[in-house]
């Protein structure tokens, strides 16, 4: 049983975004939608959360001005099929903004970074990792350089948790700019 449910925050239109992701990825579905009631804090009937099933449960929350959003919203998507990767890139980049062009890099035969039209940041990679979609934590600003420390802390808080691998920048390798 999954103990941690990743939650992504989109700028607006959470329900629309969820339906978009289901259409883009296929083999997934919207499990449930929770809406605000009379007590608010948003108008009654507006989306509070959407539960998606992408072979693992992922929740989405619609951004509200009162929320302080961390800039670390990032999803890594690894595909083995070049044509599928390019098709996914085209769908996610439409109406969004390209942060790193889909191209060959020293660390990948084909990699790109895009913020989609809902503000979710995606890194797409031609790779053979076992999981297609992986929620990622990004450590920026004052937290930059603390990823390994955080991973050790988080895994110490849950039984049977482990760090699968750590990938490090090579000496002199430029880090991508955060969205």
d(CA 145, CA 141): 9
Q: For the chain, which residues make up each domain, given as ranges?
A: 7-62, 73-137
d(CA 7, CA 18): 12
Q: Model's pTM, two decimal places?
A: 0.70
Architecture in CATH of 73-137: 2-Layer Sandwich (3.30)
What is the fold, at CATH topology level, of the domain defined by 7-62? 3.30.720
1/114: higher pLDDT:
114
For residue range 70-124, what is the model confidence (pLDDT) as tens digits? 444 567 777 888 898 899 999 999 999 998 999 998 888 999 989 888 888 888 8
pLDDT of residue 112: 92
* Alpha helix positions (H), 26-169: 82-93, 147-156
Same fold, 7-62 and 73-137: yes
71/140: higher pLDDT:
140
Phi then psi dihedrals of residue 100, to 5 deg: -140, 125
Residues 6+ away with beta carbon under 8 Å from 118: 10, 11, 12, 13, 16, 17, 20
By CB atoms closer than 10 A (0-12, 13-18, 19+), residue 65 is exposed
d(CA 104, CA 64): 37
């Amino acid at each position: 049983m999954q103990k941690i449910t990743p939650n992504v925050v989109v700028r607006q239109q959470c329900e629309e975004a969820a339906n978009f992701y289901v259409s883009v990825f296929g083999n997934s579905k919207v499990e449930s939608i929770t809406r605000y009631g009379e007590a608010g804090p948003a108008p009654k009937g507006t989306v509070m959360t959407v539960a998606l099933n992408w072979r693992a449960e992922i929740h989405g929350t619609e951004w509200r001005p009162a929320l302080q959003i961390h800039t670390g919203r990032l999803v890594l998507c690894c595909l083995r099929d070049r044509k599928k990767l390019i098709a996914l890139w085209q769908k996610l980049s439409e109406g969004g903004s390209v942060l790193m062009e889909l191209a060959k890099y020293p660390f990948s035969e084909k990699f790109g970074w895009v913020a989609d039209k809902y503000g979710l940041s995606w890194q797409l990679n031609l790779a053979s990792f076992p999981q297609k979609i992986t929620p990622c934590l990004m450590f920026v600003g004052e937290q930059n350089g603390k990823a390994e420390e955080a991973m050790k802390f988080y895994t110490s808080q849950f039984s049977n948790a482990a760090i699968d691998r750590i990938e490090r920048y090579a000496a002199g390798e430029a880090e991508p700019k955060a969205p």
